[in-house]
Amino acid sequence: MQEIYTLNAFANIKAGGNLAAVMLDADNLNKKQMQEIARKIGFSETAFIEESKKASFKIDFFTPNKQVDICGHATIAAFTLLRDKKIISAGKYTQETLAGVLAINVEENAVFMQQNLPQYYNAPTVEEIAASLNIATGEINRQIPMQIVSTGLKDIMVPIKKLDTLLKLQPDFEQIKKISSTYDCIGMHVFSLETLYNSNAHCRNFAPLYEIYEEAATGTSNGALACYLYDNEIFPKKDFINLKFEQGEVLNRPAEIFVKLEAENKCIKNVFVGGNAQMQKSISI
């Protein structure tokens, strides 16, 4: 039997945030076994913590059908579990992932994970995106260029003018799958600068290609979003910026994702994504 811990990452209430599963001491498992466990659990991501020769810990991340390079909310869950189990205390750590060795700052009430510096790619056309979201092209905010952005995973950033439009979206998931496959992306991070709770943006994330039709909180996507907004000068380019993104409202799992950007001469030098996680239960499989 294997013991799995479940946590709500980025939760601002106990029932909020994004569920992640975490397994400690997973060194005895191979990749096929990890994938089978992730499939059985069925959460958007499961994190397997192992020993590392390069970092404080090695973590492998699996969706129900694929391994992914990095996962924000599962990282927050994993290091929250390590802290709450008193395996580690507040401090600075590193994690070895398929996206590289990344820094982790563990605080008493939050965990922040470093992400890669942003990379930008050409996005699909406005017409393709609008059709996949079942909205008119005029609903997309053309004042911000659509781009594919990665700070570890590639997402299509889709700015929507009105919050009401965003909340009522009924996506065509088959179309999003095709677009994601064509452009080699995880999925779409759709957002509005209009918000419910005085945040920097309200977000929805669709990744049906990975059997994740909608996520309540996506750390890597919001890290990429923060960089995208900074580089498109949506707010003044200061050297230190703290941002907050809201997500999960339509799933009745409200979440808060925090991003810290450090810049020098208006160029991003560091990206940290963080938040809280709350333990739910442990299960044996």
Taking the C-alpha atoms of residue 59 and residue 150, their distance in angstroms, rounded to an integer, is 19
φ, ψ dihedrals at 117, nearest 5° = -65, 150
Give every CB contact of residue 267 below 8 A, 6+ residues apart in sequence.
none
Of the candidates 156, 159, 150, which has an alpha carbon nearest to the alpha carbon of residue 202?
A: 159
Q: Confirm if 185 and 150 have CB atoms less than 8 A apart.
A: no
The number of C-alpha atoms within 13 Å of 244 and in the hemisphere containing its C-beta is 14
Greatest alpha-carbon pair distance for the chain in Å reads 53
Catalytic residue among 3, 45, 174, 233: 45
> Is residue 45 annotated as a catalytic residue, yes or no?
yes
Q: Where are the alpha helices (DSSP H) in the chain?
A: 31-41, 72-84, 126-133, 163-167, 173-182, 219-231
Taking the C-alpha atoms of residue 11 and residue 112, their distance in angstroms, rounded to an integer, is 14
Taking the C-alpha atoms of residue 131 and residue 124, their distance in angstroms, rounded to an integer, is 11
Tokens for 233? 């000068």
φ, ψ dihedrals at 186, nearest 5° = -70, -45
- DSSP H or E run through 46: strand 46-50
Cite the active site residues: 45
